[in-house]
A and B are shown apart, each in its own frame.
Chain A
Amino acid sequence: MIRFEHVTKVLGNKTVLDRISFEVGEGETFVIVGLSGAGKSVTLKHMIRLMMPDDGSILIDGQEINRLRHSALQEVRGKFGVLFQSAALLQWMSVRDNIALPLRELTHTPEEEILRLVNEKLEMLGLADAGEKFPADISGGMRKRVGLARAIIMNPKIVLYDEPTSGLDPVTSRRIDDLIVNMRSQLGITSVVVTHDLHSALSIGTRIMMLHEGRIVENASPEDFIRSKNETVQSFLESQYITKKGKWEGMGHEKV
């Protein structure tokens, strides 16, 4: 579904992505982890051609996205819903109008239907009272959820989440995790999730990839990820108190 082939990206004088290759299959929840500045957001941006690689290719459903013409690009982007790291809400529009924006601008959905869909999403994300507020007047965590509502309002096939739970309290974080899991199990949606939160990565991910200094240091199922021999991965796991003997021991097909 999403395929990176030897993608290299230099920004300033830093090689942010160094010949990375990986594939996200249909229906997967693919989690990308890594330290701050590792290139996680840059990787996501390449998937929707907000950045173009200096070398290598990116295929979405078999199409090389960087060679597409305008209308074909729009079609490919239409498959995606994107939650940006900064939520990227329009400041002069209310929460409700922000979520309704794609429907109003891109479709001929009648206004009552739009309101119904928006209310449904507000309800689902625990934002029922926030509809008339403006992005500047709500908390960072709420903004994230509004961005998420906008990302999924058009029923995309693929959803990209850039740190969906950062800045959220643990209870709400788990709710977002559940939402991501449900989108996969009920709607078959493919997700790519960037996160710092390993607990959430291990519970929602079907595959976890770690980026470090422009390279992929690990790309494995959650069960194999926690057993990784790679030192960078191990210290990353230890930093969040996850050890092979801990809570995660029982999961997956463990070979004793």
Chain B
Amino acid sequence: MGAPVRSVERVGEKVLQSFHNTGHAMFMLFEGIWFIQFAFGKRSRRETATQMYITGIKSLAVITVVALFTGMILALQTGLELKRWGYEEFIGSAVAVTMIREMGPFMTGLIIAASVGSAIAAQLGTMTVSEEIAALEVMSINPNRFLVMPRLFALIVMMPILSVYTNILGIFGGAVVGTTQLGVSMQAYMDNATQFATNKDLYVGLFKAFIFGIIIATVACHQGFMTTEGAVGVGKATRRSVIISFLIILVVGYMVTRLFYI
């Protein structure tokens, strides 16, 4: 067989493999969603609460800093431009609309994918290579209920909440820059911010955060379960989970924006 034929074969194999993997991830996701009805049942509530705590509280410090600076940078960049034309009073709406529609959910998604998502992939990956997942299966304890559901649930609930938090801090960060660097009064900034941001913006932003939560949980759990080759494999799974989550968040974020604003 010639080299070209062989490489075509290899590509074919890769494509088939990725369909297979996607199917596996989807099945896992659907089972995870199905089991959410038991999130606060006797057997799962402790794990659900733990995961919500980990997802919600552990990343708060990073999110706070990133959100503040995102708002500040936005205000500074657009503010300087607006000021050239004498429109600096519009800085409030510029920051608010950008944060709520796009940057809030997006930044939250990236941080949570890098912190919580990678931790999930590493933990489930370690469990996979040390046969813990196999042990659960033999005991007929469904890993999708036992492990995936609490993580999925925590991310679905926490992502929108954290995203709102990011929005508020971002807008506040913008206000700090607006009042100190651009000479806009707090009153004018807030009036302007609330005047232009619509409920639709908020809903679309929350919807994005919710979808990003599903993406992060699915990719991280799936990569964890697919781990092979011991400790090296765990490292690979963790890295892949972050990269794949980033890419899907970018693409899906764009598509949701298109869907609602065109």
Contacts and interface: CB of A to CB of B under 8 A. Distances in A.
B140 interface: yes
A88 B128 CA distance: 9
Contact of A84 (B43, B135, B146): B135
A88 B131 contact: yes
B131 A86 contact: yes
B139 A90 contact: no
How many B residues touch the partner, as a band?
A: 10 to 19
Given A105-B43, A105-B146, A85 B140 contact: no
A240 interface: no
B13 interface: no
A88 B135 contact: yes
Given A88-B131, A88-B132, A90-B132, A50 B138 contact: yes
Interface stretch (A73-81, A166-174, A185-193): A73-81
A176 interface: no
A154 B138 CA distance: 12
B247 interface: no
Contacts of A86: 130-131
A74 B146 CA distance: 16
Nearest to B137: A50
How many A residues touch the partner, as a band?
A: 20 to 34
B146 to A, nearest CB: 7
A86 B138 CA distance: 15
A189 to B, nearest CB: 16
Contacts of B130: 86, 88
B26 interface: no
Interface in B7-61: 43
B135 A105 contact: no
A106 B146 CA distance: 12
Contact of A82 (B127, B138, B146): B138
Contacts of A74: 140
B134 interface: yes
A106 B137 CA distance: 12
Nearest to B130: A86
A77 B132 contact: no
B141 interface: yes
Interface string A203-215: 0000000000000
B131 A106 contact: no
Given A104-B43, A105-B43, A105-B146, A77 B138 contact: yes
Nearest to B129: A86
Contacts of A37: none
Contacts of B43: 104-105
A86 B43 CA distance: 26
A88 B139 CA distance: 12
A78 B132 contact: no
B132 A89 contact: yes
Interface string A41-52: 000010010100
Contacts of B131: 84-86, 88
A191 to B, nearest CB: 16
Given A86-B130, A88-B130, A91-B132, 18 more contacts: A45-B134, A50-B138, A74-B140, A77-B137, A80-B138, A82-B135, A86-B131, A88-B131, A89-B132, A91-B127, A101-B139, A101-B141, A102-B141, A105-B43, A105-B141, A105-B146, A106-B140, A106-B141
Closest 5 pairs between A and B when the two form their complex, measured CB to CB: A88-B135, A88-B131, A74-B140, A84-B131, A88-B132
7 contacts: A48-B138, A50-B137, A50-B138, A102-B141, A104-B43, A105-B139, A105-B141
